[in-house]
Chains A and B, each alone.
Chain A
Amino acid sequence: MTVILLLLILILAVYMLCSRDLLHGIIALSAISLLSALLFYLLHAPDVAITEAAVGAGVSTVVFVWAIRLTERKDCDV
């Protein structure tokens, strides 16, 4: 189970780095946070799981989406 979760996190992280649509990247980042929260819970660290779910999936997503709204959604080559 742990290995499956870690593999999913790895795949999502690579997708997040490669995606040109930054909003998709943020959703992937949020999903990574949720999966890591599940991972922490399975590893008997419920305190860390609550923090990860609330901060990673909740607050930081709001901050990133706000930043995208004020800048641009699509990535572009420098």
Chain B
Amino acid sequence: MSNPTSWRVRLQILGACVAVTVVLLPLFLMDNDWPVAGRDYLEARGREDTGAINLVSAIYLGYRAFDTLGETIVLLVAVSGTIGIAARAGGAGLAMGYGASDNSARRSGAGAVRDQKMGDGEIFALPDEKRKTHALRTHLLEVVTGKLGPVVLVFGLYVMLYGHLSPGGGFQGGVVIASGIVFLALGSRADSRTGLNKASTLACIEAAAFLLLILVPLSGMFFVGPNGTRGFFANPIAELDVLPAGFIILLNAVIGLKVGAGIGFMCVAMLGKEEKA
């Protein structure tokens, strides 16, 4: 057992055990009760304060909406960084938009009929001449993902718009929408193309949603909310009896569109790189 590899493995296992012990031991040794003040306050006041039945939405868009703005900015920076690194690593193709470079590459290749009218929409279906070498990319994948994509998109919209009533919200719905966009991109055939795969469309949606996310909270500075509060992210329509959770619905929709377009753009751009490699 003088093999240095085995010693390294043992050291790693020991380190992992020590780390788990350091994290978990205080929890077992602790004899304090769990803090309940915040929980009880939320249970008593959360619904009438924000109008949201789902208390998770009530917290992150009703009480802590400014933190949510910060998380959204973190996601924006992460997506931008990923696209930037991928574009730098893979040449200028991604930076120009993955559709453009792929089109030129494919037009110069063995000519297929569909290349003639291709805009900047992208088709990820495997060309017929490559079917023999890629045994795992069967037609099954394209058929299933193509049929499932719209259903997933609708489910994502539901999760996004009903986040104040049922489990879910802007982030969750947005990620589900991104999965739907990936499904549609994987299942897109030559004769059925969707504008949701275009880099320009997704980028426009994300930018517009982020602009709205900045502009909508600003409205709270001009309308006086309940208890005379006013300011950034103050709820201007809290006193309306019609739809007290309307502000949360609006923010959920904006955040969901932004997250869905951003993550969908990242994944579709990566799929485009994968096809070229």
A residues neighboring B (CB under 8 Å)? 46-47, 49-51, 54-55, 58-59, 62-63, 65-66, 69-70
> Chain B residues with Cβ under 8 A from A66's Cβ?
270-271, 273-274
Decide: B176 and A50 in contact? CB cutoff 8 A.
Answer: yes
Complex contacts, A50 vs chain B, CB 8 Å: 159, 167-168, 172, 176
- 13 more contacts with CB within 8 A, not counting A46-B167, A70-B274, are A47-B167, A54-B176, A58-B179, A59-B175, A59-B179, A59-B182, A59-B267, A62-B270, A63-B267, A65-B274, A66-B273, A66-B274, A70-B277
Q: B residues within 8 Å of A by Cβ?
A: 54, 56, 159, 167-169, 171-172, 175-176, 178-179, 182, 263, 266-267, 270-271, 273-274, 277
B10 to chain A, nearest CB (A): 15
B242 to chain A, nearest CB (A): 26
- Can you list 9 contacts pairing A with B, beta carbon distance less than 8 Å? A51-B172, A54-B176, A54-B178, A54-B179, A58-B175, A58-B178, A59-B182, A62-B271, A63-B270
Interface of B is mostly: helix
> Which of chain B's residues have a CB closer than 8 A to the CB of A49?
167
**B178: which A residues are within 8 A, CB to CB?**
54, 58-59
CB distance from B186 to the nearest CB of A (A): 9
Report how far A54 CA is from B171 CA in the complex, Å.
10
A46 contacts across to B, CB distance below 8 A: 167
- Complex contact B273–A70 (CB within 8 A): yes
Q: How far in angstroms is the closest Cβ of chain A from B206?
A: 15
A45 to B263 Cα, complex, angstroms:
24
B273 touches A47 (CB 8 A): no
CB closest residue in chain B, given A62: B267
Query: CA separation between A63 and B267, bound complex, in Å?
Result: 7
State A50–B179 Cα separation when bound (angstroms). 12
Please give, as numbers and ranges, the residues of chain A lying within 8 Å of B56 by CB-CB distance. Answer: 47
